[in-house]
Chain A
Amino acid sequence: MNAAAPLLRLEQVEVVYQKVITAVHGVSLEVPAGQIVVLLGANGAGKTTTLRAVTGFLGSDDARVTDGKIWFEAHAIENCPPHTVAARGIALVPERRKVFETLTVLENLQAAVPSGIRGRAARRERIDQVFDQFPRLAPARGRLAGYLSGGERQMLAMGSALIGAPRLLLVDEMSLGLAPRIVEELLERLVALKKALGLTVLLVEQSAHLALEVADYGYIMESGRVVLDGTAERLRGHGDVQEFYLGMGGGPDRRSYRDVKQYRRSRRWFG
């Protein structure tokens, strides 16, 4: 895999909902610094749960990381509360309810400026940076976020997440409900930010096509397990990925990933 030390590392993470339902069975993955990693999978594959395990959002859903370790650099962060995780430099753009709808665009950004930044001028500078990164937001600064279009909302959510200058950005289902063109534009922005700020990104996606274009590395999840991983290039060329996630080759009788092959199970049973 990658020689560089990973920024985020999940080791055999298991997540259990309400003490009974296991949603994630021993997932291991690595997000190296300065790269874009994509986590692919169909609905219910456990992608979002994995992301929530990282951000500490699980507690509110009566779920816990019951086994395994989540390392952010040298810190173990499994089952940490969300604001602790945020303070370490991990920002999440959630799938739904990603902006404060009763606040204006400007207020959304104001609320997200970290408390460590003192002084009106310093705060304004941070906010102006976001308007530079997402020029479309600038003319809408006085509008309520609830009235924004899906694309603008996504930009605002990403801007609010970036305003705290995170080291790792987690984006859940960015493409959901957005026109492919906008998704493309947003992904380009991400690549530009990755280059400019050295940002590390973990994308969670259902639609593999665009995500694999920009990603460096990819993991594919099925039923709470990582079934396949590799460089984005390798995944794009992989026959099964083409068939099941890129929509190429599969006929009307498209099968699920599971029906085809018994993929490499999680490594937990073998140590």
Chain B
Amino acid sequence: MLIYRVSRVLNLAHGELMMLAAYILISLTTLLGSHPVGALAGAVALSLLVGLVLYVVLMRRMTGELVIAAVLVTIALGILLRGVMVLGWTGRTYHPMQQLGWENKAIALGGGMTASTVALATVGMAVLLYCGLFAFFQFTQWGVRMRAVGENPLLASQRGIALHATYALAWALATLTGGLAGILIALDSGLDTTMAVVGLKAFPAALVGGLGSLRGAVVGSMIVAAAEVLAIHYIDPLVSDVVPFVVLIVMLLIRPWGLFGTEEEIERV
């Protein structure tokens, strides 16, 4: 979403990048077994670095090329990453929470509901990240520049904004937030190679909300999540993975540019 907003490139390797961050955490935990916090911080920092390196080494060449070519490159990247991860960390399921020596206690919420500690942390982190990103785009020099580049890269470069630096920052931020998400999911429900599906589910959420809109992403994910939970409860847990895409198809039929998107953006995808 972040990358799309700034560079109009849809990053289809987002799920794999989330997963990569979680696997990095596994390795760091084994390396720095005694410092769980250090391992966490290291994994987060590395995921930021991964974004930077990816842009500089791979995506930088795609600036100025057709957007569809860049999107295809991200698909290839996703496939490659998945392969590398299976080779490097094998396909078995990890439980980083246990490796870190922490317990994922269930906390009772009022009204007979329970939630795990990590799930609550995830929600808190999401709120924090959203506010952080919002403030970044709204108030900081680089945030405003990023929005400027997103609207009109040519004019931005003429105004002296360095395009490559801006795109690299967008990639770094995207892998950082994605990485955080991946780590939290891994902490909550374990990690294996199917996690990329969660990343895929982010697309219905982003598309329902309208690509390129931060507000839309939040509302979109709420709608998708609600639909999923309702389906698990009333229909069958097995259909839950399909629901986001059903919502997506319905949405595409009614309002293809999403809730908060603009009509012109649709031609670009």
Name the contact of A81 in the complex, choosing from B145, B147, B152, B157 (C-beta under 8 A). B157
Contacts of A97 in B (CB 8 A): 152, 155
Q: How far is the CA of A102 from the CA of B212 in the complex (A)?
A: 12
Name the contact of B160 in the complex, choosing from A59, A86, A100 (C-beta under 8 A). A86
- A56 → chain B closest CB, angstroms: 8
Q: How far is the CA of A110 from the CA of B151 in the complex (A)?
A: 15
Q: How far is the CA of A271 from the CA of B147 in the complex (A)?
A: 48
Please, what's the 1-or-0 string for A92-110, where 1 marks a CB less than 8 Å from any CB in chain B? 1010011111110001101
- B127 → chain A closest CB, angstroms: 25
Knowing A83-B161, A83-B163 are in contact, say whether A60-B154 is a contact too (CB < 8 A): yes
Number of interface residues of B (CB under 8 A): 18
Closest to B140 in A: A110
Please, what's the 1-or-0 string for B171-210, where 1 marks a CB less than 8 Å from any CB in chain A? 0000000000000000000000000000000000000000
* Residues from 59 to 91 in A contacting B, C-beta threshold 8 Å: 59-60, 81-83, 86-87, 91
B80 interface residue per 8 A CB criterion: no
Contacts of A45 in B (CB 8 A): none
Q: How far is the CA of A161 from the CA of B157 in the complex (A)?
A: 12
Q: Which one of A32-40, A111-119, A135-143, A187-195 contacts B?
A: A111-119
Please state if B160 and A112 are interface contacts (CB–CB under 8 Å). yes
Contacts of B158 in A (CB 8 A): 55, 57, 82-83, 86, 91-92, 94
Please state if A103 and B157 are interface contacts (CB–CB under 8 Å). no
Please, what's the 1-or-0 string for B62-95, where 1 marks a CB less than 8 Å from any CB in chain A? 0010000000000000000000000000000000
Please state if B155 and A110 are interface contacts (CB–CB under 8 Å). no
Q: How far is the CA of A97 from the CA of B159 in the complex (A)?
A: 13
Please state if A57 and B141 are interface contacts (CB–CB under 8 Å). no
* Residues from 135 to 149 in B contacting A, C-beta threshold 8 Å: 141, 144-145, 147-148
Contacts of A82 in B (CB 8 A): 154, 157-158
Knowing A82-B154, A98-B155, A113-B141 are in contact, say whether A107-B160 is a contact too (CB < 8 A): no
Q: How far is the CA of A111 from the CA of B152 in the complex (A)?
A: 12
Contacts of A55 in B (CB 8 A): 158
Contacts of A94 in B (CB 8 A): 155, 158
- B3 → chain A closest CB, angstroms: 17
A160 interface residue per 8 A CB criterion: yes
Contacts of B159 in A (CB 8 A): 86, 91, 111-112, 160-161, 164
B162 interface residue per 8 A CB criterion: yes
Please state if B144 and A83 are interface contacts (CB–CB under 8 Å). no
Please state if A103 and B163 are interface contacts (CB–CB under 8 Å). no
Contacts of B151 in A (CB 8 A): 100-103
Q: How far is the CA of A193 from the CA of B262 in the complex (A)?
A: 39
Q: How far is the CA of A164 from the CA of B160 in the complex (A)?
A: 8
Please state if A111 and B163 are interface contacts (CB–CB under 8 Å). no
A167 interface residue per 8 A CB criterion: no
Q: How far is the CA of A157 from the CA of B160 in the complex (A)?
A: 14
Tell which of B148, B151, B160 has the most Cβ of chain A within 10 Å: B160
Please state if B162 and A111 are interface contacts (CB–CB under 8 Å). no
Contacts of B157 in A (CB 8 A): 81-83, 86
Please state if A110 and B144 are interface contacts (CB–CB under 8 Å). yes
Name the contact of A107 in the complex, choosing from B64, B147, B161 (C-beta under 8 A). B147
B54 interface residue per 8 A CB criterion: no
A236 interface residue per 8 A CB criterion: no
Closest to B141 in A: A110
B119 interface residue per 8 A CB criterion: no
Q: How far is the CA of A163 from the CA of B189 in the complex (A)?
A: 52
- A87 → chain B closest CB, angstroms: 6
Closest to A59 in B: B64
B156 interface residue per 8 A CB criterion: yes
Please state if A103 and B160 are interface contacts (CB–CB under 8 Å). no
Please state if B162 and A103 are interface contacts (CB–CB under 8 Å). no
- A161 → chain B closest CB, angstroms: 8
Please state if B154 and A100 are interface contacts (CB–CB under 8 Å). no
Please state if A100 and B141 are interface contacts (CB–CB under 8 Å). no
25 contacts between A and B (CB under 8 A): A60-B64, A82-B157, A83-B158, A83-B160, A83-B161, A83-B162, A83-B163, A86-B158, A86-B160, A87-B160, A94-B158, A99-B155, A100-B148, A100-B156, A102-B147, A102-B151, A103-B148, A107-B148, A110-B144, A111-B144, A112-B159, A112-B160, A114-B160, A115-B162, A160-B159
Q: Which 5 residue pairs across A and B have the least CB separation, nearest first? A: A111-B148, A86-B160, A82-B157, A112-B159, A110-B144
Given contacts A82-B158, A86-B158, 18 further A-B contacts (CB under 8 A): A59-B64, A60-B154, A82-B157, A83-B157, A83-B162, A91-B158, A91-B159, A94-B158, A100-B155, A101-B151, A102-B147, A103-B151, A107-B148, A111-B161, A112-B160, A114-B160, A115-B162, A164-B160
